[in-house]
Chain A
Amino acid sequence: MPEAAISATNLTRRFGNFTAVDNITFDVAPGEVFGFLGANGAGKTTAIRMLIGLIEPSAGEARVAGHDIRHEREAIRRSIGYMSQRFSLYSDLTVRENIALYGGIYGLSDADIRAGTDRLLGELGMERSANAMVKTLPLGWKQKLAFSVALLHKPKIVFLDEPTGGVDPITRRTFWEMIYAAAKSTTIFVTTHYMDEAEYCDRISIMVDGQIGAMGTPADLKKEFAAGTVEDVFVQLARPAVRSA
């Protein structure tokens, strides 16, 4: 069996006497689309910040793309892509400039950036908009571009933090088709508040008060909780939570 893309063991993070992430253990397989769900305040963001090397765990360990999250943060940053809800693009730069900027940040050579720019513009059908400022693009284009830029350096894992918040229903679905296409070669770790999107994941976990309350395929979880939809599973788990009030 190939090495897990993400492997967390007893991962814990405390802030003072508050335990934001409480002893969580899980694996994500290479190429998997893994949905990381939870109520507000359940500890998702803290867990993600540990996995991408922004903060250190208080206890436990995790490996991301084979690298230790305490000691190999630089290697992790080169192995992952990241896209957040508010697009990470610079709106006053052109499409081409954004691609070049991120290529540089991810450590690509000038030749790789040039080749990557041509490939990306071709794939997106955005050749004619290459010199347009990002702020003039339609929302759906911006989102596709932000996702493609996060994949520019061919990361092993891409973290998507509420990537579809506030977008229209067609763009939201087009975006998930892009996720599926990318998942052939990249592991996808995604958070969302849209419960229908949880159904598109290979497996999901639902965090409750810092712990993993449930984990499995959407079909298995619905069976386990005798629920019709993932939303019903989520509500059953999250409603008794202490922190989400």
Chain B
Amino acid sequence: MPDVEVSGLSKRFDEVTALDSISFSVAKGELFGLIGPDGAGKSTLFRILTTLILPDTGTASVLGYDVAESLWDIRARVGYMPGSFSLYPDLSVRENLEFFASVFGTTIERGYELIAPIYSQLEPFKDRRAEALSGGMKQKLALSCALVHRPDILFLDEPTTGVDAVSRREFWDQLHALRDSGLTIMVSTPYMDEAIRCDRVALMQDGRILDIAAPESFPARYELPLQSVQGADKYGMLSALRQSPNAEAVYPFGTELHYTDKRAGVPASGLSAELEQYLRERGFGDARAHPIEAGIEDSFMALMTKTDNAPNA
């Protein structure tokens, strides 16, 4: 039986449809990512799965317990790190952890093995008030507090939002260690590049799931030819390529442009030469094109446009 099973789940707040009939399941021991921007419905989903709010329609179960009927069974067994800072600012690092342990009827010592790799980095500061910690250390303390009662499943709502690239990498390394110890983890993020760190991801937008797959399978799921284009005048080339009759989409990607062609079967090498010639004729003599595999952002944008969800397309 899956650790999380969601079927036809919907939730509205006034006029806003936060979740629109979503279905998925998470296997035991899986690191499952919810990838999507603000307003996708990620937090609402976590609040339903942690029994804080009820869905309007549909069903959801966690560890085999129904969220509407067995809230105490679920609450005792899940670890939850909400999106906003959830610690007590006036309590010390140690006091915060003791508090969360006591709420679940346990002690730090009994949960220590699981939190040791993370909490050991905080121990030099154990008497510091939580509000005086740096962002990265607050995040480590919040994760320790969510783990201290040795939950069977961990829900992390945007744990890396606003966190720099180095701290984000370290946090994902910690999640991998937890997953490897057998813990089931559901984690949400607006950073598309983090999808690659998950076993499977659901791409979410406006309360709907656009696609669910293993991250490494997205390149094969991208249906149209994709090319990287480079040259000195990136923005000039961007406008020129968008006027090309065969362009499906053109987006900037760091130092490159990603160009998607409308013609599904067009050969890659021929397309590179065609794009270079098209740009050369328009004054971009240094333009170079080559075929590439789609990344998660390419896939996400294609799916957004396909479902007619793009806000300003």
Contacts and interface: CB of A to CB of B under 8 A. Distances in A.
Interface string A219-245: 000000000011100110011010111
A168 B162 CA distance: 15
Contacts of A97: none
Contact of A173 (B136, B163, B166, B251): B251
A141 B312 contact: yes
Interface in A193-236: 193-196, 199-200, 218, 229-231, 234-235
A6 to B, nearest CB: 23
Contact of B253 (A138, A196, A230, A244): A196
A245 B254 contact: no
Contacts of A241: 166
A235 B169 contact: yes
A41 interface: yes
A169 B205 CA distance: 11
B311 A138 contact: yes
B255 A199 contact: yes
A180 interface: yes
A176 interface: yes
Assign chain B's interface to a size class: 35 or more
Interface stretch (B177-185, B265-273, B296-304): B296-304
B191 to A, nearest CB: 8
A198 to B, nearest CB: 8
Contacts of A42: 164
Contacts of A168: 36-37, 205, 300, 304, 311
B57 interface: no
A139 B165 contact: no
Given A167-B37, A168-B36, A168-B37, A38 B164 contact: yes
A94 to B, nearest CB: 16
Interface in A141-156: 141, 144
Nearest to A135: B16
A165 B162 contact: yes
Contacts of B135: 40-41
A40 B311 contact: no
Contacts of A244: 134, 136, 164, 166-167
Given A140-B312, A168-B300, A239 B166 contact: yes
B235 A180 contact: yes
A85 interface: yes
Nearest to A140: B311
Nearest to B135: A40
17 contacts: A41-B134, A41-B136, A138-B311, A139-B37, A139-B39, A167-B38, A176-B252, A193-B191, A195-B165, A195-B254, A196-B253, A196-B254, A200-B254, A235-B166, A241-B166, A244-B167, A245-B136
Interface of A: 38-42, 85, 136, 138-141, 144, 162, 165-171, 173-174, 176-177, 180, 193-196, 199-200, 218, 229-231, 234-235, 238-239, 241, 243-245
